[in-house]
Structures are given as structure tokens and as C-alpha cells.
Structure 1
Amino acid sequence: MSLILYNPLREMDSFQRQMNQLFDEVFVPSERHSDRQEFSPKAELTETEEAYVLKLELPGISPDNLDIQATRDAVTVSGDRQDTHSTEKDGVRRTEFHYGSFHRVIPVPGLIQNSEVKANYDAGILTLTLPKVEEAKNKVVKVQLS
């Protein structure tokens, strides 16, 4: 019977190589992973007494490429992020940006006055102010005891 010395550093090196390979396969696009991830803007919805405020993160998208529609209980934002860069001289370009069209429907927890929605687009952030319908506002009514 022969004795084999255990080397923990060799095991750690092997583990590190396996982890690096895993991250390379997941985070670096390759020909094996030809399916492109779809761009979906991040959203933040807050509520005030008078309205809901919806913010969407849309960096690099021109306001001309946005379509915003509001119903009584949801907001739909769609648009297109254009790829304006080109590679020259058989150069290789590596990008983590996502290009193409997107479509996002965000439900609102209460009814809104969709004809009174206000939109502002500044520094890549789209801010929509969605006023609540009169019935949905939290009105305080004094109750009389008899």
C-alpha cells in the first residue's frame, strides 16, 4: 500500500479553476450561449396621498423611442435601444449593454386618472406621476358618536 500525501493547496487550485470556468460560461457570452438576454428596465413605484409615482431606469434611450400608455390600473412602457456603435478594421467589440426593443407592463395597486398622467424624462430616468382617482384617495372623515 502506497501513501499519498494530501495537498490542500492543490485542491484549492482545482476548485478555483472550476469556479473561474463556471463564471466564464455564465457571464461571458460565447457562441455556445447565443441566446441574448432581453432588456427590461428596472422600476420603482412609490405612493403618496395624491398619486403613485413610477420611475423607470432607461439610460441611453432617446425619449423619441419611448411609447407610454396608461390604463386605469396599469402603465405600459415600451421602446427601443438602438446600437449606434460599429466595429471597424475587423475589430472585436465586447459589450455588456443590451440593445433592442422592450415592453414592460407595471400594474398599479389602485385606480388612476389615466388622462392626467404626467411624464418627465431626465438623466435616463423616466418619472411618471399617476394621480389617483378621487374615490381612491384616503380621505379622513370625522365620525360622530351618538
Structure 2
Amino acid sequence: MAQITRYEPWTFLNQLQRELERSFESMRSDMVRGGEEMPAAAEWAPAVDIKEKANQYVVHADLPGVKPDDIEITLENSILTIKGHRETEAKEEQEDYKRVERVYGGFFRRFALPDSVDADKIQANYEQGVLIITIPKKAEVQPKKITVKTA
């Protein structure tokens, strides 16, 4: 008996896009680190939103299925690095049909931060599969006006 397979034209393009993003992230990391020894290549990169507010930056990283203990956040030379690992789950197999869309393994993302951040007050929270990093800005020093006196 013939089996009907659903044609999904975007599958190949989506896979190609993920591979290109992984390659570019790796190249960017090489340039940022300036020749330092690189960690093992990431197997996937989580989606990240970065929002700038008046007094802080807020980073939201989608990390469903990642345990908080498996996430490492570092700040070195104004580079914020988020890396970790998501464990594989048992995959279901039905007859000859198999489909796995979720990516497992190591991940990392790096972001250059401006000099205006207060590195000592960065906080990270993990809520329902989303990592939220709050990066406060330094209090701006207001210029002091000096009056010119006449002699």
C-alpha cells in the first residue's frame, strides 16, 4: 500500500537558514574573542529579544526544556555570554515515520554591551522556559555648570 507523504516546501529553507545562522554566530564569536581558544561549537542558538529601557536593558532568551542549573551566564570584557545544554528526550517512532524538530545539545549566544551598563548589578531569572537578564545602566553623571566670575 502506498504511503502519502505531506510535501512541506519550506522545510529545506528553514534548515538552511538555521545552518547559516549557526555559521555566522560562530564567525562572530571568533572575531569577538580575538583568537582565544573557542569552546566546542554550539549545536543550536536560542531566540533572543533585547529591549532597551530608560534605565536598563532586558534580554529574553527562549530556553524551553533547559534546566536553570544547565545555564551559564558570564560577562567578560563587555561581552555577555549565555551558554548551556539541553538534554535529549526519548523520541517517538511510529512505523517508518519519524519527525524531530526540537534541537538538543549545547548552545551559546554572545552580545557586546555598551560601557554604560552597571556590570555589578546584572540579574538573571528563569520563568517558564524563558531566561530574563536585566542589565541596569549606570546612573548618568550630570555635567556640572561652572559660572565665570569677573574680577
For normalisation by structure 1, the TM-score amounts to 0.62
The structure 1 residue matched to 2:121, chosen from 85, 105, 116, is: 116
Q: Is the 2:91–2:100 contact (alpha carbons within 8 Å) kept by the matching residues of 1?
A: no
Aligned length: 117
Distance 1:131 1:28, change over 3 A: closer
Partner of 1:26: 12
Distance 2:76 2:70 in 1: 20
Q: Which residue of 1 aligns with 2:83?
A: 78
Is 1:102 the counterpart of 2:88? The answer is no
Change (3 A) 1:143 1:66: same
| Identity of matched residues, % | 26
Partners of 1:68 and 1:77 within 8 A in 2? yes
Of 42, 58, 63, the residue aligned with 1:58 is 63
Q: Which runs of 5+ in 1 are unaligned?
A: 1-19, 30-34
Structure whose alpha-carbon radius of gyration is higher: 1
After TM superposition, the structure 1 stretch with the greater mean CA deviation from structure 2, 37-46 or 120-129, is 37-46
* TM-score normalised by L of structure 2: 0.60
Amino acid across the alignment from 2:12: V
Runs of 4 or more off by more than 6 Å in structure 1? Answer: 88-91, 142-146
| Paired letter, 1:49 | A
